[in-house]
Structure 1
Amino acid sequence: MSEHVQSILRQYDPTAPLEKAWTIPAPWYTDPAVAALEQQAVFGAGWQYVAPLDRLEAPGSFATAVVAGEPIVVVRGRDGTLRAFFNVCRHHAAAVATEECGSCSVLRCPYHGWTYDLDGRLKGAPEFEGVEGFDRDASGLMPVAVETWERFVFVRLSDKGMSLKEHLGDMAAGVAKLDLARLKFFERRRWTLNCNWKVYVDNYLDGGYHVPHLHKSLSTVLEYSDYQIENGARFCLQHSPLKSGKDAETAAVRKGDRAYYYWLHPNFMLNWYEGVMDVNLVLPLGPDRCEVIFDFFFDDVGESAAARNRASLAVGERVQQEDIDICEAVQRGLHSRAYVAGRLSVRREAGEYLFHRLLHADLAAGTSSPSPRL
């Protein structure tokens, strides 16, 4: 790893206690070399959410994703087994699955018609007679680790590392109390932001610090003074009692006794209210851009609940736009000569502190590890 990247990493001290800690410095959000290292050491090394389990329940159902720049396809086999592969034909590297999700009997490359069974084995290679040394059995799709948890499907590109259960730790037991099995997938939405992916995560993890200033309507239903932050090994839980707010549109769709906001390192978020949930995945598109994917779930996705569900999406979209505007403003500020790093609120920003230390650990490990090769 270059001395340039090493010098940027040394600007942050992960050993400082929260009351003495600074944020990670501005170059971590703006430097292309840091972004490149993150693809390998963060997104390419650990578990990444790719799809709701609802999309992958029937044999032949598939979903595609991009993880650390790698195209991935997850498919349910005829034997009921869920498998994941690099979505790359072994002939000339085209994608074998070209839709976000769907159903198929085989995976057929649209380029030259190479066909793979749902278990990844090569079934057909047209007009390949006479090719010497061609090993059909060794030419199947390259596998990727895949595991499920609750309503979610995760993959891991690296062939080394902890299991998904180990990665989740105590978060799994906490989320189990929310009874997510009652919820059904409703729809997926995407936003592209002009900010580094970590800016969005920082905003999520500030312990509600920005809520009374930025989210005026959401603030009317949250008990800000009793907003709590609890860190686990690789996750943060923020939760707040709910109250009857003055904003009728928000109060109508943000109900229950308590709101729960879970973050799982590095980029997965789960937001739960009674009968309503969305999960967010933040993906880097470069040092100054990211994509945020929202998957929405409701306890009732029938026609009788359509108005409620659309109203909930409208409230969520309003909050999301408020977050987009501030995150893009922050990214502009990170390029300023006036800013290098900031301090953290002991009361509010323990989650952000955890995120920065976990990120430092990942990047430090990545500087001593060779780039992965197949």
Structure 2
Amino acid sequence: MQNSIIESRDLNLVSAELDLLHAEICRAAEKPLAEARALPAQAFTDQAHFVWERETILKRQWLSIAHVSQLKNPGDYVNLELLGERLSVVNSGDGVIKVLSRVCAHRGMDVMPPEYGHESEGNCHQYRCPYHHWVYGIDGKLKGAPLMKEHQEVASKSLQLFEFNSAVWQGFVFINFSGDAQAIDEQFSGLDKYLSRWQIADLTMVGDIAWDCPFNWKVLVENFMEPYHHVGAHHTLFQPIMPAQGCWTDEEGEHFQVCHLPLSEPLQQKVKGGEPQLLSFMPMPALVESDFLEWTVYLAAPSTLLFVAADRVYWYRLEPISAERMQIRTTMLVHPDSANAENYPQTLADEIELMRKFHLEDMEMCGAVQSGLASAAYRPGPLNPLEQPIWLFQRYLARQIKRAKGA
């Protein structure tokens, strides 16, 4: 509560500075790609701006928080804390996945606090608040409260855990805190033509690595989407097989971006000759030849990130905490029949280690970028054409600023 009051007070004190920063972001977004530059440091370091983004962009858009393979059975749950809210994503037992607040309707206690040993994933048949043992069903409805069976609200079972607006799209569970976002099928419909052949809802999550990150959430989005850093950060892992100079970005989508990472010419020739390349797991059954010739990265704005190959999908769960800190879960999904391969356990272990390795390269770079943004020597530099996704992300942010200001 104290932090909330301080943040609100800070917003009032720095509103003029925020207006100037927002004007700078909009001016940057208006430049043509040939003249595009990085954003001012304050876009990544200013806490008041982060609070503004949290309330005005992040809480008003669709954010991905779980995959349906984590929620197959009644009572399966995924717990997380996102934008200050403690959440439980649960298979409610009636064929519906719900996103419930973990705040007890009695006195506000977390009904599954990690401080009391509750795991972030598992299966339960009810929620029981550890404070006074109020009990809720997995649908969020109150089932009982000790020594209160005569109380009207308890007897009528009208009390329940708060349910947030949620939806399932392409196999992922999304939350919209404000409850007034555009229908998710409409907002991201432009991505369906790219992703439908992967049938992501049928995949299984087999890798999940947690990262505590000392950098702004937008630093991660920018790094994820642009292939220019293959020549530097990934010069030994990705540059030889997906060279930066061959990558390209699709035309702008209002709420999404698509960047193509073609395989090197020798690898493409082998694929065309009937020798699929870089496959460790079973490829998705509905793919066509062109799907084997590249990897692709997607942003479903503001923060859903997918890295897709013929035999796997990487998904990032972003949890922004402050201007200079966030947590990330990097996950890997594969076709469930991949587990039938004789060498699957070793293959999976090797691929998870590879996932850790190349993500560690990204995390190290993003942390160093955040440090540089805090320097008095920082000035926004010109963008390479391969950094077109950063320019498109700037344009998305500018649209959100203008929408918020009624422009």
Partners of 1:237 and 1:350 in 2: CA distance: 11
Check whether the contact 1:63–1:75 (CA below 8 A) recurs between aligned residues: yes
Check whether the contact 1:226–1:240 (CA below 8 A) recurs between aligned residues: yes
Partners of 1:330 and 1:197 in 2: CA distance: 12
Q: Deviations over 1:328-357 (max 9, x none)?
A: 111111111222322222x21221112122
1:330 corresponds to which of 359, 362, 369: 369
Partners of 1:226 and 1:303 in 2: CA distance: 33
1:214 pairs with 2:214: no
Partners of 1:68 and 1:366 in 2: CA distance: 19
Q: Deviations over 1:305-330 (max 9, x none)?
A: 12112211222211111111211111
Q: Give the equivalent residue in structure 2 for 1:310.
A: 349
Q: Give the equivalent residue in structure 2 for 1:352.
A: 390
Q: 1:357 to 1:303 in 2, by over 3 A?
A: same
Of stretches 109-118 and 9-18 in structure 1, the one that deviates more from structure 2 is 9-18
Q: 1:314 to 1:80 in 2, by over 3 A?
A: same
Equivalences for residues 171-186 of structure 1 within 5 A: 171-181=191-201, 183-186=203-206
When normalised by structure 2's length, the TM-score is 0.82
Q: Give the equivalent residue in structure 2 for 1:234.
A: 255
Check whether the contact 2:140–2:160 (CA below 8 A) recurs between aligned residues: yes
Q: Give the equivalent residue in structure 2 for 1:372.
A: none
Partners of 2:195 and 2:346 in 1: CA distance: 27
1:146 corresponds to which of 166, 176, 184: 166
Of stretches 252-261 and 352-361 in structure 1, the one that deviates more from structure 2 is 252-261
How much has 1:174 moved relative to structure 2?
A: 1.0
Which SS does the other structure have where 1:195 is aligned? Answer: coil
1:73 corresponds to which of 77, 88, 102: 88
Partners of 1:78 and 1:283 in 2: CA distance: 27
Partners of 1:327 and 1:80 in 2: CA distance: 40
Q: Letter of the aligned partner of 1:277 in structure 2?
A: V
Q: Deviations over 1:121-177 (max 9, x none)?
A: 211111226768878544211111111122211111112120111221211221112
1:7 pairs with 2:20: yes
Q: Letter of the aligned partner of 1:87 in structure 2?
A: R
1:25 corresponds to which of 7, 20, 40: 40
Equivalences for residues 157-306 of structure 1 within 5 A: 157-181=177-201, 183-206=203-226, 208-215=227-234, 216-230=236-250, 231-243=252-264, 251=278, 253=280, 256-299=292-335, 300-301=338-339, 304=342, 305-306=344-345
Check whether the contact 1:267–1:283 (CA below 8 A) recurs between aligned residues: no
How much has 1:205 moved relative to structure 2?
A: 2.0
Q: Letter of the aligned partner of 1:62 in structure 2?
A: Y
Which SS does the other structure have where 2:232 is aligned? Answer: helix
Of stretches 173-182 and 348-357 in structure 1, the one that deviates more from structure 2 is 173-182
Check whether the contact 1:50–1:64 (CA below 8 A) recurs between aligned residues: no
How much has 1:229 moved relative to structure 2?
A: 0.9
Q: 1:69 to 1:165 in 2, by over 3 A?
A: same
Q: Give the equivalent residue in structure 1 for 2:103.
A: 88
Partners of 1:19 and 1:361 in 2: CA distance: 20
Q: 1:252 to 1:118 in 2, by over 3 A?
A: closer
User: Structure 1 or 2: larger helix share?
Assistant: 2
**How many pairs align?**
362
Q: Letter of the aligned partner of 1:167 in structure 2?
A: Q
Q: Deviations over 1:46-97 (max 9, x none)?
A: 1111111011121222222222211111222232122222121111212223
Aligned identity (percent) is 25
Of stretches 300-309 and 109-118 in structure 1, the one that deviates more from structure 2 is 300-309
Which SS does the other structure have where 1:214 is aligned? Answer: coil
Q: Give the equivalent residue in structure 2 for 1:156.
A: 176
Partners of 1:151 and 1:301 in 2: CA distance: 20
Q: 1:223 to 1:344 in 2, by over 3 A?
A: closer
When normalised by structure 1's length, the TM-score is 0.89
1:124 pairs with 2:144: yes
Q: Letter of the aligned partner of 1:358 in structure 2?
A: Y
Partners of 2:156 and 2:104 in 1: CA distance: 13
Give unmatched runs, 5+ long, in structure 1: 369-374
Q: Give the equivalent residue in structure 2 for 1:111.
A: 131
Partners of 2:373 and 2:354 in 1: CA distance: 29
Partners of 2:211 and 2:153 in 1: CA distance: 47
Partners of 1:89 and 1:182 in 2: CA distance: 34
Q: Letter of the aligned partner of 2:98 in structure 1?
A: R
